[in-house]
Amino acid sequence: MALSDELVLTQPVENAAARRRGRRWRAAGYLAMLLAVLVIGLPVYWTLIAAFKTSAEIYGPPTWFPQAPTLANFPAAWNAAPFGRFYVNSFITTLGGMGLEVLFAVTSAYALAYLRFPRKDLVFLLLLAALMVPVEITIVPNYLTIARLGWINTYAGIIIPGAAIAYGTFLLRQAFLALPYEVIEAARVDGAGHLRTLVSVVIPMAQPAIVTMALLSLVAKWNDFLWPLIVTNTANMRTLPIGIYWLRNSEGTINWGVVMAGSLFLIIPVMIVFLFVQRYIVEGIATGAVKG
């Protein structure tokens, strides 16, 4: 048999084996995604259906669908605590904190990516070291500082300590370094200063990464529980996560339907925001991981 005939016979066999391996890996990938969806989605689904169940059904044998759906849990949850005030506080602290964090992250990332200054590498090393420090370690010094400034039980006391996060600067620095440097040079040749270059060139090009960082900041500050609990001492300054905890403890025998309805008050706004900006998330994180 000629060599060309052997190649013709072996090539289809190799292609068939490659296709089988590809199908196995694809099936494994789908299975992994299914498991991830189940692990992440089941608690959310259980919260959703429990909000429409009666207490008798919740404490009875588990059911995957409400047997007698009711909307009574939602007004009960809203009236059990001042959720209107909780919403106002959460919106103010979340949007204010996110805005400051994005501002500081964008400007500091631009400086680390494009400016020249002494000990630049050391500054970036310290930034990376800050990523390793647990947030809980900074609670006591932050509280003492806020107390000395007279910001206990104020919006400033909730917002300012979390106004700059090392992760945001790191993520945006990596995204800025992945941008085509020729465009930055062209802007400078045209006479643009650093502020004009940042606003007119860098921010539009890095929009996916900035939106991703803003969304991560929004979710973290919207769900923040420990720091607002420590730095506030009156009900009219509490945020939504504390309100859910308060709602749970205010019940004698815990009415989980009411608690789950209150939890939906916390979950739904973030889900709505996510639906509008989800297309930026994967692109933004991938952009930040291209270049180091």
* pLDDT, tens digit (0-9, with 9 covering 90-100), for 201-241: 888 888 888 888 888 888 889 988 888 988 988 888 888 88
Q: What is the mean pLDDT of the chain?
A: 80
CA-closest candidate to residue 128, choices 117, 112, 111: 112
Give the pLDDT score at 288.
45
Give the pLDDT score at 289.
46
Give the pLDDT score at 135.
80
Statement: residue 99 has pLDDT above 80: yes
Let me know if 130 is exposed, middle or buried by CB neighbors in 10 A (0-12, 13-18, 19+): middle
User: How much is the pTM?
Assistant: 0.77
CA distances 281 to 30, 50, 222, 277, Å, are 21, 30, 18, 7
